[in-house]
Amino acid sequence: MWPELPADLARSWPGALLLAAAGAALAGDLLLAAAAWVQAERERRQRRLADRLSLFESDLAPPVTVMLHLSGPGEGAVEQVRSLLTLAYPAFEVVVAVDGDGAAARGRLAAAFGLRPVRRAPRARVPRGLVRGLWGASNLPQLLVVELARAGRSRALNAGLAHARHPLVLTLDPGTRLERGTLVALALPFYESRAVIAAGAAVRISERGGDTRRRAFAARCESLETLRETLVHGLGWAAGDSLFVLPAPVALFERDAVIAAGGFRDLAWPEADLVMRLQRRAARRGRRMAVRLVAGAVAWREPSPGAGAATHERRQRGLIEALFHNHALLLDARFALHHGVAFLAQAWTGLLRPAAELAGLALGLALVASGHGHLPFVWMFVAIHGAGGTLVTLAALGLERAACPRLRWPRDYETLALDALLEPFVRRPLVAAARLAGALRALLATPGPRPPSAAHGRRRLPRAA
Amino acid sequence: MDIGDLAGWVRDDGFRRQSSGSGRLRSEPIGADNPGTVNPTPTPWRDALAALPARAAAAGREVLETLFPADPPPGVAEQAAALEQRLAATLAGAAPAADLAAEASAAEPDAFWAAVERVAEGVAGDAWERLGDPGPVAIERRRLRHLSAWARALAARRLGLIHDHASAPLLRRVMERGPAITTLAAALALARLGDRPALDWLLEHPAATARFGRHQLVALLKRFGPAATPALAAAVEERGAAAAIHLAAVEVLGLRGERAALGSLLRLLVEGGAEARVAAARALGGLGERAAIPLLIEALDDYEWAVRVQAARALGALGAVEAAPRLAARLNDRVWWVRDRAALALAALGGEGRRALEAAARSSRDRYAADMAAEALEGLAAEPREASRVA
């Protein structure tokens, strides 16, 4: 009986269901790729028309607060802050929120920048005892270091927000480097339209030694995955004014809108939850295209250790938490139909897609192992999941060339195109497993692996003054 | 081994390749001394199979090029770099325009315009007359009649960059016809030309620019130059500041320090809507007219917090010492921004402001007011604080 079980499953409704799920996922991805192509073309035209020089005309650029959350030893913090201070932008400040276990990081910053205690009245309520001290540098008035008791990412970002001076606030992860012109590219949508309240950047995986082919296969696959998430999914949803998840850990927000929406909540992925609340707020006020993705604004990060499993798990948990807290996007009749469609698609991505992918792969392997490799399920699944997945990744490579070309033509594209053939069967099962674990943790409400400094429980959120 | 290496086994590139035994490939040219005996009996299917990866790669590149063309296209950057030097020499009068025209005609039009973009901001308007009439300019003039709004907008932007006065009538038509994207691009081009009829049309048709952001409109009006300031003052005087373009005009009057607009701005500060009062208060700070101080002090009690912010800021900019007590009272404002701007304004007032801040820091019952005053004093002690700008 057991050797025949895979074949029986493949011939009956479970097999059909898995094929339908894979087909639906592929169809969705291809639709998003088409929408992303339209959006990339629109962006390209706008880029040619953009009068960027106007931004540098004295008072016209909206000033920006760059917020960086540091926890742990903070190796590389000094270099990151230095690189932030050299950004090409007319008016900005850098607020570094150093978490409770980041004394070493604060020490490094103090030694490098000659920090001294300063006073700055917060513009929103901060929980008592959270801020241990404020530090500034006499020769760098645009730098502020906020030393925090054990806070966690959300509370640290809220504390940074309370001390931010400027109307736009950029959040970014430690280890993420911005290109010099990224801030200008991100601020342009705010300059051009009053409706915009958030803009996300495209994150890229940095190339050690500058040669794509010398990098490990895993890092190249991560590159492909990042391109797919940013350019196919991100740009695709942005084209339909339904961007709920900013794919990169770099985003520029309108500070007052963030504070009015309640700031960052203590969830596994606070930015996703915030963007959904901002979308709700924008929809209530009739603001269209309020959340944008700027593919031309590029940030870089190192490849994740261990295939990025912890990151995928955390983000999946965060996505499901954010969907749960923002279910009004689906159920509230005041919101547009496209928000409901996007919500369902995100719910599908968050809850079912990883399980369907893994189940399909497992059934295919079981069929081959039990000598039933000739069954139609096997080649149909390979065609949909493998060839279809590769097609979507190739579309992402094409979008990279059109929207934010940083790879060398044609050798990097050729190398990555070859990798795209293998990636659906090598990298994606690992990612799907990590996402499934994250989904299960969210559903079972078990805390996942968090940074040691993170505290749990509900937090008081900053309120608008 | 990559696709190129696999394709190398085909001998159509004039080389034969074989393993050197150490895993590396070596290549030798095929010629008289080297008849190419690696594969003496090639079969059609084997050749076709060996060529497959190269053909697949070439087809992939072609698809990618067609669907996702690079921006700028390959080779354009190099052409643009060469044209940039020629263009700079021509505009400086060091090279004849005919040479540039010949070179521009031979290059991609995008390369010419990329070169123009690079030098545009550093070139005075009349220097562009030395450009002559190269081929790419004539193309863009024709494209002002293109069916696509994007094409018209791009043509308008490019012609504006080179201060092409001959295109002004057509640019005006493009601006008036819309849609918004072409209206803005053509208006910016005409602003570079300092075209007064275009400015009048914009001020008379506020609906055409209602969707644009304030910063964008301020940049547009600033581009018309100082000569346009009287027209802006007249428009504000006649039409008030209910529309976005007129609010932007108020901002520009403040930035230019147009003292003739004092009466209009004071009237707006008292009678205007919320946005108009904010813009007027900000502009009055830029005017430097002390006659505005009494009304600005009154505006410190406006029910709109944004007006109070701008009034405090303006009083600081005007050095209105007589406003110190009222500014000190604003340290207790319920809105953080008002407290912040009031403290900064007091810090800018010199001794009187400093004493008010010290008193607030020492004895204010309001913790927020004391904090804000202490912060401002600390800033004074360290060095003049960089004036942070609030949009």
* Contact criterion met (CB below 8 Å) for B204 and A67: no
The rounded radius of gyration (Å) of the Cα atoms in chain A is: 23
Query: Of the candidates A57, A401, A410, which has its C-beta nearest B68's C-beta?
Result: A401
Return d(Cα A53, Cα B112) in angstroms, integer. 19
What six digits make up the tokens of B210? 């209602």
**A41/B contact by beta carbon, under 8 A:** no
Q: Which tokens sit at B174?
A: 């493009």
Which residues 214-253 of B have a C-beta within 8 angstroms of A?
214-216, 218-219, 222
Bridge partners for A93 per DSSP: A65
Binary contact (A399, B68; C-beta < 8 A): yes
Helix A77-85 vs helix A103-113: crossing angle, to nearest 10: 50
- Residue A405, exposed/middle/buried by CB under 10 A (0-12, 13-18, 19+)? middle
3-state secondary structure at position A251: strand
Q: How far apart are CA A270 and CA A261, in angstroms?
A: 12
Q: Report the alpha-carbon distance of residue A77 to residue B21 in Å, rounded.
A: 48
- DSSP letter for A231, please: I
pLDDT in tens, chain A (465 residues): 567 888 888 888 888 999 999 999 999 999 999 999 999 988 888 888 876 555 555 466 788 999 998 887 777 888 889 999 988 888 899 999 988 776 788 888 888 988 888 888 887 777 777 888 888 887 888 899 998 887 788 888 999 998 888 889 999 888 888 988 889 889 888 888 888 999 999 888 886 545 555 567 888 888 999 999 999 999 999 998 888 888 878 999 999 899 888 889 888 888 889 999 998 888 888 888 899 999 888 888 888 776 678 888 888 888 888 888 888 877 766 667 788 888 888 888 777 888 999 999 999 999 998 888 888 899 899 899 889 999 999 999 999 988 888 888 788 888 888 899 988 888 888 889 988 888 888 888 765 544 333 333 333 334 433
Q: Complex ipTM, two decimals?
A: 0.72
**Among residues A252, A269, A300, A303, which one has the least CA distance to residue A80?**
A300
Residues of B whose CB is below 8 A from A61:
215
Yes or no, beta carbons of A119 and B374 under 8 Å apart: yes
Preferred mutation among A128, A401, A407, A421 to probe B, highest tally of B CBs within 10 A: A401
Do A63 and A169 form a contact (C-beta atoms < 8 A)? no
Q: Which residues of B touch A415 (CB under 8 A)?
A: 2
B311 in Cβ contact with B302 (< 8 Å): yes
Q: How far is B306 from chain A (nearest CA, A)?
A: 13
The lowest-confidence range among B2-6, B212-216, B256-260 is: B2-6
Distance (Å, whole) CA A323 – CA A327? 6
Do A166 and A59 form a contact (C-beta atoms < 8 A)?
Answer: no
> C-alpha angle with apex A281: A280 to A286, nearest 5 degrees?
95
**Amino acid letter for position A423:** E
Interface contact flag, A123 B340, Cβ < 8 Å: yes
Contacts by residues A89-92 (CB-CB < 8 Å, ≥ 24 positions apart) = A89/A61, A89/A64, A89/A183, A89/A184, A89/A187, A90/A55, A90/A56, A90/A58, A90/A61, A90/A63, A91/A61, A91/A63, A91/A64, A91/A166, A91/B388, A91/B389, A92/A63, A92/A64, A92/A65, A92/A66, A92/A142, A92/A166, A92/A183
Task: Give residues with Cβ within 8 angstroms of A283, minimum separation 6.
Answer: A334, A335, A336, A339
B51 part of contact set with chain A, CB < 8 Å? no
Chain A residues touching residue B157 (CB < 8 angstroms):
48-49, 51
What number of C-beta contacts closer than 8 Å exist between A and B?
A: 113
Chain A residue with minimum CA distance to B57? A414
* Whole-prediction pTM: 0.80
CB proximity B275 to A under 8 Å: no
Looking at A41-55, B200-214, B223-237, which range is the least confident one?
Answer: A41-55
Contact B337, B309 (CB under 8 A): yes
Across chain B, what does the average pLDDT equal? 81
Which residues 268-307 of A have a C-beta within 8 angstroms of B? none
How many Cα atoms are found within 13 Å in the side-chain-facing hemisphere of B187? 28
Q: Which pLDDT score is estimated for A286?
A: 81
> Do the Cβ atoms of B157 and A124 come within 8 Å?
no
Residues of A in contact with B57 (CB under 8 A): 410, 414
Give which of B113, B389, B390 to mutate to test A binding, by max A Cβ within 10 Å. Answer: B389
Closest partner residue to B219 (CB to CB) among A57, A402, A413 is A57
Rounded to 5°, the CA angle A449-A218-A430 comes to 50
Distance from C-alpha of B372 to C-alpha of A119, rounded to nearest angstrom: 9
In this structure, are residues A19 and A384 in contact, taking their beta carbons and an 8 Å threshold?
yes
Averaged over B62-71, what is the pLDDT? 76
Asked if B216 and A191 touch (Cβ cutoff 8 Å), the reply is yes
User: How far apart are the CA of A210 and the nearest CA of chain B, in angstroms?
Assistant: 17
State the nearest Cα–Cα gap between B179 and chain A, in angstroms.
Answer: 14
Contact A417 B219 (CB under 8 A): no
CA distance B255 to chain A (A): 9
* Residues A211/A214/A217/A218 CA torsion (nearest 10 deg): -70
User: Which residues in chain A have Cβ-Cβ distances shorter than 8 Å to B2?
Assistant: 213, 411, 414-415, 418
Half-sphere exposure for A175 (CA within 13 Å, toward CB): 15
**Amino acid at residue number B80:** A
- A209 by Cβ neighbours in 10 Å (0-12 / 13-18 / 19+) ranks as exposed
Sign of the dihedral defined by the CA atoms of residues B114, B115, B119, B120, in that order:
negative
**Binary contact (B70, A402; C-beta < 8 A):** yes
Q: Scan residues 148-187 of B and list those with Cβ closer than 8 Å to A.
A: 150, 153-154, 157, 181, 185
CA distance B126 to chain A (A): 20
B278 lies within 8 A of chain A by CB:
no
Query: Kind and range of the H or E element at B107?
Result: none
| Range 2-21 of B in CB contact (< 8 A) with A | 2-4
Q: Is any Cβ of chain B less than 8 angstroms from the Cβ of A63?
A: yes
A37 contacts chain B (CB < 8 A): yes
> Beta strand A92-98 with A64-70: parallel, antiparallel or unpaired?
parallel
pLDDT per residue as tens digits for the range B124-180: 777 787 777 778 888 999 999 999 999 999 999 999 988 888 899 999 999 999 898
- Asked if B183 and B175 count as a contact pair (C-beta separation under 8 A), the reply is yes
Q: Contact at 8 Å (CB) between B132 and B162?
A: no
d(CA B382, CA B380): 6
**Once rounded to an integer, what is the mean pLDDT over residues B363-371?**
78
C-beta atoms of B334 and A120 within 8 A: no
Could you give the CA distance from residue B221 to residue B245 in angstroms, rounded to a whole number?
9
Contacts of B68 in chain A (CB under 8 A): 37, 40, 398-399, 401-402
* Of residues A134, A131, A139, the one with CA closest to residue A119: A134
Residue B386: pLDDT band (50, 70, 90) is very low
What residues contact residue A244 under an 8 Å CB cut-off, 6+ apart? A237, A272, A275, A276, A279, A322, A329, A342, A343, A346
- With beta carbons less than 8 A apart as the criterion, state whether A140 and A85 touch: yes
- The Cα–Cα gap between B55 and B235 comes to 66
Tens of pLDDT, residue by residue over B267-279, are 989 888 888 999 9
- Give, as one character, the DSSP assignment of residue B126: G
Token pair for B374:
């202490």
Q: Which residues in B lie closer than 8 A to residue A411 (C-beta atoms)? A: 2, 4
Average pLDDT over residues B311-318: 92
In chain A, which residues have their Cβ closer than 8 Å to the Cβ of B366?
A: none
**Residues A401, B74: C-beta atoms closer than 8 Å:** no
Q: Bridge partners of A178?
A: A299
Residue numbers of B between 328 and 387 with CB closer than 8 Å to A = 334-337, 339-340, 368, 371-372, 374-375, 378, 382-383, 385-386
CA distance A401 to chain B (A): 6
